[in-house]
Amino acid sequence: MKAFKSITVSELLELLNDELRLGNIDEDSYVAFSSDYGDHCHTEQVHSLRGRIEEQVLTETAYSNSGFAVSDDDPRNSQTVLIIS
């Protein structure tokens, strides 16, 4: 399986801490993530977070724009990631 690439926990913490230090955000700022809606204009849709974090196994798939999906497979020989929902 090809490797899934993303930022690490320490990189995310560093980005957030940098923004706090610069005064660009405060600790009460809402957090969301966005993704391409998939329409011809590439509308950026926003998704809220419930505040849950789970380690999940990834699998390759042709049905996802990223090429990856969450799997129910055994994590011993698979790549895992933290999913924030």
Q: What is the pTM of this model?
A: 0.77
Alpha helices, DSSP H, located in the chain:
9-22
Q: pLDDT for 13-31, tens place per residue? A: 999 999 999 999 999 999 9
- In percent, the amount of the chain with pLDDT more than 70 equals 99
Strand pairing category for 53-60 and 68-71: antiparallel
Kindly state the greatest CA–CA separation across the chain. Answer: 43
Q: Compute CA distances 60 → 1, 8, 38, whole Å.
A: 7, 20, 19
